[in-house]
A = this chain, B = another copy of it.
Amino acid sequence: MNSRDTLITELNVLENFDPLVPEEYQNSEYLMLGNLSPLVQSTVITRLNKRPKLIAMDTMNFWMDIAMGDLEKTISMVDLLIINDEEARQLSGEYSLVKAARLIRGMGPKILIIKKGEHGALLFVKDEVFFAPALPLEEVFDPTGAGDTFAGGFMGHIASTGDLSFENLKRAVIYGSAMASFCVEKFGTERLLDLKSEEISSRIERFVRLADFDMNVLVK
C-alpha cells in the first residue's frame, strides 16, 4: 500500500472509532484534542457534560485535503488551534501568516498558535502577537513527536496554573517549546522519560537568555 492508502485505511479505523469519555474525565477543565479525524474530535467535545475552561486542538493538512467541512465545524468549536506554518497557509489560503491568522481566528478559535519548527512559534491572542524563539540546536536527532510534546508542555503549564491571560499563554508556549527541544534530542520519547525538573528549569533559563534584550537604555 502506498502512504495515501495507508492513511485512508487508518482513516476508516478512526471514523469507526467511537470516542467514549470515561466518567472520571467528565469534569476535565482542559481538553487537548490530538490530531485525529475532526469528527472524532468534535464527538469528544459534544460528549462532555460541561465545557472545559480551554479546548485546544491539533490537526494537519491531511484532514484539510479530505474532510474540510468536518474540520471547519470542529475548528469553530474550540478555543485554541495549534498548527504549523504550512498548515496555517493551506487552511487559510494566505501566504502571509498575519493574514492567515486573522482568517483562521475568524473561523472560531480565540487563540491561535502557529509553530514554525526551528524558527520558533507565533501566538495570536486578541490584538496581540508573541514570537517565541526556538532553541538553536547542535543537532536534531529525531523530530518525531515534537509537535505533540509542544502541545503537552503547553497544556501542562496551563493546567497547572489555571491562568489563561496572554502573559501566561506566552509562558506556556515557552514551556511547550522547551519540552519539544528535549524531544528531538533522542529517539521517540526517550529523552522525555527520565527528564528531571532541574533540566527543564535550566532549559527554560536558556530560552529566557536567548530572547532577552532591553531597549530601555538611552542612546548616548
Majority DSSP secondary structure for residues of A touching B: mixed
Alpha-carbon distance between A130 and B213 when the two chains are bound, in angstroms: 8
Contact B171 A217 (CB under 8 A): yes
Given contacts A136-B131, A137-B98, A220-B160, contact A213 B120 (CB under 8 A): no
**A105 on the interface (CB 8 Å rule)?**
no
Alpha-carbon distance between A120 and B96 when the two chains are bound, in angstroms: 15
Binding site for B on A (CB under 8 A): 96-99, 116, 119-120, 122, 128-134, 136-140, 157, 160-163, 167-168, 170-171, 173-174, 204, 207-215, 217, 219-220
A133 nearest in chain B by CB position:
B131
Contact B215 A171 (CB under 8 A): yes
* Complex A-B: 8 CB contacts under 8 Å: A120-B120, A120-B131, A131-B133, A133-B211, A160-B219, A161-B219, A171-B213, A171-B215
A101: min CB distance to chain B, Å: 8
A203: min CB distance to chain B, Å: 11
Alpha-carbon distance between A173 and B208 when the two chains are bound, in angstroms: 17
Alpha-carbon distance between A99 and B136 when the two chains are bound, in angstroms: 10
Alpha-carbon distance between A47 and B114 when the two chains are bound, in angstroms: 50
Residue numbers in B under 8 Å from A212 (CB-CB):
130, 170
Residue numbers in B under 8 Å from A209 (CB-CB):
128
Contact B96 A213 (CB under 8 A): no
Alpha-carbon distance between A3 and B176 when the two chains are bound, in angstroms: 45
Contact A213 B211 (CB under 8 A): yes
